[in-house]
Chains A and B, each alone.
Chain A
């Protein structure tokens, strides 16, 4: 009997493979967006709602950036990928997707459950990490601004 976990896992593997195999960048990015969204659904089925929502937000942001980048970087004229190549990619992805069907994808909680909640885990155990990461992300954002600004200045 197929469960939702199995279906999500199969679709995840297929879309992840197609994201790399498809030659048209726009289709590849749509497939990548589908993979990230399915991963988010899988997290939700694993009883991890915070991870699911965060993954979904990241997926939306990353895909928007990828869309913009691909629109700027992709040459307008290119040879279309042959149908044979697409079918071959779909076949390889299907073969890869058999593996999640064979294994039983169910998460069972250990009897040694800690029942540590998200807010306390974030702010009591990892508060320093959160602050340090904020600084790292801010530094990266400044780095991007400096790199692009220097380029514009030239």
Chain B
């Protein structure tokens, strides 16, 4: 149960980053922290129950999470090459100006 509190603290830090940061890389790091906080619960409950199924779920979750991170970084790179900015507000302004 105590590790769930630690997980909640990490979740709060990730949400803080999502709400306050405008840099796309920082937002990606926030998402990674939230994913780490969520996947930590798999290991905690698997350790409590004494089986290793939770570790299997962590393995599966982390693989997909990393692949998604790679996709997002590719998109960020393209956005930067196309417009020269990695600020989400500036990107949303571009969207408005294109309309």
Contact = CB atoms under 8 A, between A and B. Distances in A.
A58 to B, nearest CB: 5
Interface in A16-51: 16-17, 19-20, 25, 28-29, 32, 35-36, 39, 42-43, 46-48, 50-51
A143 B71 contact: yes
A69 B67 CA distance: 15
Given A20-B13, A65-B69, A105-B2, A114 B51 contact: yes
Contacts of B3: 46, 105, 107
A37 B26 CA distance: 18
Interface of A (DSSP majority class): helix
Contacts of B74: 144, 147-148
A113 B78 contact: no
Contacts of B64: 133, 136-137
B88 interface: no
Interface of B: 2-3, 5-6, 9-10, 12-14, 16-17, 20-21, 23-26, 28-30, 32-33, 36, 40, 42-44, 46-60, 62-71, 73-78, 80-81, 86
